[in-house]
């Protein structure tokens, strides 16, 4: 009897041991080990993260207010996914066009400097960017030494930033060394010298600068350009001058390292949600006041904007008919209209959208309808913590630079208005051959929106087909820059031309078989 009990006890021990081993074995293989890659191994344009990567981002990278945000996980079959990609995200073909910004064989090193060119830039970030690049070309034309430009500190945004706060100053000087001599400050012995302060004539060509401006060297050692925007013609300039403008814009004028680093981080965080749209929502107080656009605003808001326009001395046009402005397509789309537009194009409600803009006029009261359609609206302030953004706060141009980087790197870029930011990003993306850039046909769209308000059309397939057809050829494909509008004369003729930096083709984007092609893709 005792022997049987002993045998039973031995068998029970063996069974318990086997069970424990089995449980331990299963537990070992069920453990998930999460390895976080080093930030040094992550590249700016890495592939879109998987859903698991998105989960880890919310735990490890996101600021506190985003760490618990639910992240969408698409559940589409392969055929549906490919169909959606073709329709919504696939970049347009570059048709064999690539950057071609290398000098021609006849290009020489800079001639001996005849004097110094001081530049006072004017406007917001992208207006100043274009002006700086034009002044590089002007310095080359008139054989001047260019002093690092002074940024506009008196514009609507009141930004105190200096050149080196926004741009990589050393890189700018060194990368253009074979084109133009650039120095940081005027030599001390010339600081108090008599200088010619000149408003260079808008949209001027070679003759104006080679003759009228260069002749000033006979009396002055220092010439000061009082403004920098639109001082150089869009067209009919020598190929090497046009290519120099592009080298300045797309290679030399790089943002400062801290702006680049923060911009890269914002891009990585946007990409964690999947393909994203960068929406330049130009619905800020200054834009609406300047343009006189008041659609969907209250009488009190319209009156506030009118007062701002009347009290801003350098805005020449005071009396504006808002209905006429809108009917001609001169007004930015409202947030509500943007929501209707995106829905008509087929973008689902889970689409991540980065709002590239300053403070939206009216705040959430005007954003509610767009947010109801697209809840995943992100911005600098939502993607980054207060501590991360602190160095850039109260500096509108630096904040705009962050928006610029995220917009350049987006899968789709959509501007609600064709202003300086929209033109700069569109041109840069066209130069790089990057993603879709959808330019809304505002004049046609407002007619559709009005019919929608009147109940003459409804949202659905019919509206979607009309919107899609309107924008079939407005996706950012390479095309030759548009010349002046037929019938325009004088300054209006130059003003009606497509801006050089909105579309640097054919000067800086060429067919691959063309000579002097430089296919390196750079990022400003």
Residue 158: give its domain's CATH number: 3.40.50.11340
Same domain, 221 and 289: no
Same domain, 266 and 344: yes
428 in Cβ contact with 410 (< 8 Å): no
Is 39 inside a domain boundary?
no
Same domain, 268 and 373: yes
Is 198 inside a domain boundary?
yes
Question: What pLDDT does 155 receive?
Answer: 75
Same domain, 223 and 361: no
Same domain, 262 and 317: yes
Is 97 inside a domain boundary?
no
Domain limit, last residue, from 233, 251, 269: 251
Is 45 inside a domain boundary?
no
Question: What pLDDT does 363 receive?
Answer: 85
Same domain, 407 and 338: yes
Domain limit, last residue, from 194, 224, 251: 251
Question: What pLDDT does 66 receive?
Answer: 45
Whose structure tokens read 């509610």? 368
Is 423 inside a domain boundary?
yes
Round the CA-based radius of gyration of the chain to a whole number and report it. 28
Q: Give the domain extent around 244.
A: 115-251
Strands 115-119 and 97-99: unpaired
Round to whole Å and give the CA distance between 301 and 303. Answer: 5
- Strand, coil or helix: 173: helix
Same domain, 151 and 286: no
pTM exceeding the 0.85 threshold for the entire prediction: no
Question: What pLDDT does 84 receive?
Answer: 76
Question: What pLDDT does 35 receive?
Answer: 32
Question: What pLDDT does 3 receive?
Answer: 44
Query: Mind listing the pLDDT tens digit of every residue in the chain (524 residues)?
Result: 444 444 454 455 555 555 554 544 444 344 333 333 333 333 333 333 333 343 333 333 444 444 434 344 344 445 556 677 788 999 998 899 999 999 999 999 999 999 999 999 999 999 999 999 999 999 999 999 999 999 998 777 678 999 999 999 999 999 999 999 999 999 999 999 999 999 999 999 999 999 999 999 999 999 999 999 999 999 999 999 999 999 999 999 999 999 999 999 999 999 999 999 999 999 989 899 999 999 999 999 999 999 999 988 878 899 999 999 999 999 999 999 999 999 999 999 999 999 999 889 888 889 999 999 999 999 999 999 999 999 999 999 999 999 999 999 999 999 999 999 999 999 999 999 999 999 999 999 999 999 999 999 999 999 999 999 999 999 999 999 999 999 898 888 999 999 999 999 999 999 875 444 454 444 33
Same domain, 329 and 422: yes
Is 102 inside a domain boundary?
no
Round to whole Å and give the CA distance between 334 and 340. Answer: 10
Domain limit, last residue, from 219, 251, 283: 251
Give the count of beta carbons closer than 10 Å to the beta carbon of residue 108: 8
Same domain, 470 and 410: yes
Same domain, 484 and 381: yes
Is 212 inside a domain boundary?
yes
**Burial (CB count <10 Å: 0-12, 13-18, 19+), residue 140:** buried
Same domain, 171 and 245: yes
- Token pair of 374, please? 């697209």
Whose structure tokens read 């996706």? 475
Question: What pLDDT does 87 receive?
Answer: 85
3-class DSSP string for 432-501:
HCCCEECCCCHHHHHHHHHHHHCCCCCCCHHHHHHHHHHCCCCCCCCCCCCCCCCCCCHHHHHHCCCCHH
- Token pair of 440, please? 């809304």
Same domain, 403 and 263: yes
Per the structure, how many domains does the chain have? 2
Is 55 inside a domain boundary?
no
Question: What pLDDT does 500 receive?
Answer: 97
Tell me the sheet residues that pair with 197.
224
* DSSP sequence for 115-150: EEEEEB--SSHHHHHHHHHHHHHHHHHTTEEEE-PB
């Amino acid at each position: 009897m005792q022997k049987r009990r002993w045998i039973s006890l031995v068998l029970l021990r063996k069974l318990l041991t086997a069970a424990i081993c089995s449980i331990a074995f299963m537990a070992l293989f069920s453990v998930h080990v999460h390895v976080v890659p080093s930030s040094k191994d992550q590249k700016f344009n890495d592939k879109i993260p998987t859903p698991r990567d998105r989960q880890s981002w919310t735990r490890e990278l996101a600021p506190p207010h985003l760490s618990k945000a639910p992240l969408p996980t698409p559940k589409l079959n392969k055929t549906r996914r490919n169909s959606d990609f073709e329709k919504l995200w696939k970049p347009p073909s570059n048709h064999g066009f690539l950057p071609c910004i290398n000098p021609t064989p006849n290009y020489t090193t800079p001639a001996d400097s005849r004097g110094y060119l001081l530049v006072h830039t004017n406007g917001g970030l992208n207006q100043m960017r274009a002006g700086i690049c034009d002044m590089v070309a002007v310095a080359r034309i008139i054989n001047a030494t260019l002093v690092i430009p002074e940024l506009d500190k008196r514009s609507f945004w009141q930004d105190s930033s200096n050149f080196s706060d926004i741009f990589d100053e050393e890189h700018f000087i060194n990368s253009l060394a074979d084109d133009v001599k650039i120095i940081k400050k005027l030599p001390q012995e010339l600081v108090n010298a008599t200088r010619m302060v000149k408003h260079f004539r808008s949209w001027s060509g070679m003759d104006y600068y080679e003759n009228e401006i260069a002749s000033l060297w006979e009396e002055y050692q220092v010439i000061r350009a009082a403004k920098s925007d639109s001082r150089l013609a869009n067209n009919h300039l020598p190929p090497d001058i046009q290519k120099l403008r592009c080298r300045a814009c797309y290679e030399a004028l790089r943002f400062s390292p801290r702006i680049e680093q923060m911009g890269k981080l914002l891009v990585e965080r946007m990409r964690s949600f999947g393909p994203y749209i960068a929406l330049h929502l130009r619905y800020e107080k200054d834009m609406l006041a300047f343009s006189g656009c008041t659609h969907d605003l209250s009488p009190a808001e319209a009156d506030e904007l009118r007062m701002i326009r009347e009290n801003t001395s350098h805005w020449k046009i005071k009396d504006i008919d808002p209905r006429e402005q809108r009917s001609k397509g001169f007004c930015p789309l409202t947030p509500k209209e943007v929501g209707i537009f995106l829905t008509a194009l087929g973008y689902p409600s889970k689409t991540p959208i980065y709002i590239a803009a300053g403070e939206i006029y009216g705040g959430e009261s005007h954003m509610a309808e767009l947010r109801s359609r697209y809840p995943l609206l992100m911005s600098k302030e939502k993607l980054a913590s207060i501590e991360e953004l602190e160095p850039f706060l109260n500096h509108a141009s630096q904040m705009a630079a962050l928006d610029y980087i995220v917009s350049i790197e987006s899968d789709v870029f959509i501007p609600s208005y064709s202003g300086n930011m929209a033109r700069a990003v569109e041109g840069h993306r066209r130069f790089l051959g990057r993603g879709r850039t959808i330019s809304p046909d505002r004049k046609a769209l407002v007619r559709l929106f009005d019919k929608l308000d009147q109940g003459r059309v409804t949202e659905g397939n019919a509206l979607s087909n009309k919107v899609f057809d309107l924008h079939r050829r407005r996706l950012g494909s390479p095309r030759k820059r548009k010349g002046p509008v037929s019938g325009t004369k004088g300054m209006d003729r130059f003003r009606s031309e497509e801006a050089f930096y909105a579309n640097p083709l054919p000067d800086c984007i060429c067919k691959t078989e063309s000579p002097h092609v430089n296919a390196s893709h750079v990022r400003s």
